[in-house]
């Protein structure tokens, strides 16, 4: 997997304009008049895609597009941004960044990874999340094959992977959410993310229709045994890939942001040595699950089952997550890591290389 890039490719989903021809086919026809934007709410997407095509494929400037279509430059900019937001335009790069390639090799040697992907260091925390997530989407897009079953976790980093997932003509691909739902969360809800992930790659989706955290171990057992969730767990026994992320113990981390756990829970877990969570399972630096009641109330695929998945992928980065990543690597015996340049160096420093 080589996805640190020096040249840009743009993938614009196919669509029809006016007479049903694609933009490429239509551009070969002689025309003596500049194209005009179509009218009507139903044609907004096609107009947006026309603008995206002219900008990314034909290489016209924003001013040139505005002049050709008889619209303002602000409208052009707005449509270009919306096309990216709607995932109608996907940008990726092919090539290698020498420094990152070297670090990837060091990570593979130090942690015995099958694959390590290091993205160039972003300038902001938000950039770290986005860059790692985008790389994760590229990785899964290149790795997927017919008949595969993919288990997905949740969180801001994995959510960003949706931007670079690409649809391929695959058959019998399944996506399984590895964690129950979070009612308060919308954007990062595990169920919502799994559904969007499955839709992006054209796969069937199976959800754990239960809260991520329940009130007791007995409730968890009852939900699994008597409420139809055992079928999802059985399907998860055939996982080929587990796409996961690791959270830290900060009050604003994904695990604590939605009031599924109390501040007292958080402080107790930290006192017991917790450095992070994976699917709401809290662990220490040595990758051992914390002996706390919370870990008995989590509606997730058991950690022991995750360790049997052929590809166990962790996508995470940032200074505040170094300890969490180190613990998560040991927790599931991670064999694919996707992270940023500085975090990779910090992980190596902790490893003593």
37: confidence class by pLDDT, cuts 50, 70, 90: low
Which segments within the chain are labelled E, that is strand? Answer: 7-12, 89-94, 115-119, 149-152, 174-177, 204-206, 241-244, 276-278, 281-283, 311-315, 336-340
Beta-carbon count within 10 A of 264 CB: 8
What pLDDT sits at residue 95? 59
- pLDDT tens for 144-171 read 999 999 999 999 999 999 988 887 788 9
122: confidence class by pLDDT, cuts 50, 70, 90: confident
Domains of the chain: 7-91 (1.10.10.10), 97-351 (3.40.50.1360)
What pLDDT sits at residue 186? 61
Cβ(230)–Cβ(297) below 8 Å: no
What pLDDT sits at residue 228? 77
Least confident residue range of 43-57, 128-142, 322-336: 43-57
Residue 203 has pLDDT above 80, yes or no: yes
Least confident residue range of 43-47, 140-144, 312-316: 43-47
314: confidence class by pLDDT, cuts 50, 70, 90: very high
What pLDDT sits at residue 168? 79
Mean pLDDT, the chain, whole residue set: 85
Residue 40 has pLDDT above 50, yes or no: no
Share of the chain above pLDDT 70, in %: 84
> 41 is written with which tokens?
């709410």
What pLDDT sits at residue 72? 92
């Amino acid at each position: 997997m080589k996805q640190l890039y020096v040249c840009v490719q743009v993938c614009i989903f196919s669509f029809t304009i006016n007479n049903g021809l694609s933009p490429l086919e239509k551009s070969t026809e002689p025309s003596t008049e500049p194209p005009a934007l179509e009218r009507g709410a139903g044609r907004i997407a096609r107009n947006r895609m026309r603008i995206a095509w002219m900008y990314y494929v034909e290489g016209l400037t924003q001013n040139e597009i505005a002049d050709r279509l008889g619209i303002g430059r602000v409208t052009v900019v707005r449509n270009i941004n919306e096309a990216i937001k709607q995932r109608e335009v996907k940008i990726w790069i092919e090539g290698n960044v020498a420094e990152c390639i070297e670090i990837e090799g060091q990570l593979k040697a130090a942690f015995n990874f099958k694959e390590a992907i290091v993205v160039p260091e972003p300038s902001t925390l938000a950039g770290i999340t986005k860059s790692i997530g985008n790389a994760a989407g590229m990785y899964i897009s290149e790795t997927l094959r017919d008949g595969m079953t993919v288990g997905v976790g949740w969180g801001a980093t994995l959510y960003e992977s949706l931007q670079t997932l690409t649809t391929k003509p695959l058959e019998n691909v399944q996506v399984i959410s590895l964690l129950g739902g979070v009612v308060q969360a919308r954007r990062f809800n595990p169920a919502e993310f799994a559904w969007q992930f499955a839709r992006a790659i054209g796969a069937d989706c199976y959800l754990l229709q239960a809260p991520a955290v329940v009130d007791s171990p007995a409730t968890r057992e009852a939900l699994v045994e008597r409420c139809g969730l055992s079928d999802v767990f059985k399907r998860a026994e055939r996982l080929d890939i587990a796409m996961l992320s690791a959270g830290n113990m900060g009050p604003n981390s994904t695990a604590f942001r939605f009031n599924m756990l109390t501040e007292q829970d958080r402080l107790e877990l930290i006192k017991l040595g917790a450095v992070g969570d994976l699917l709401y399972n809290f662990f220490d630096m040595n990758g051992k699950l914390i002996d706390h009641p919370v870990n008995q109330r989590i509606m997730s695929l058991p950690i022991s089952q995750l360790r049997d998945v052929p590809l166990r992928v962790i996508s995470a980065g940032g200074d505040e997550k170094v300890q969490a990543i180190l613990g998560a690597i040991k927790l599931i015996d991670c064999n694919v890591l996707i992270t940023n340049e500085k975090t990779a160096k910090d992980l190596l420093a902790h490893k003593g290389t």
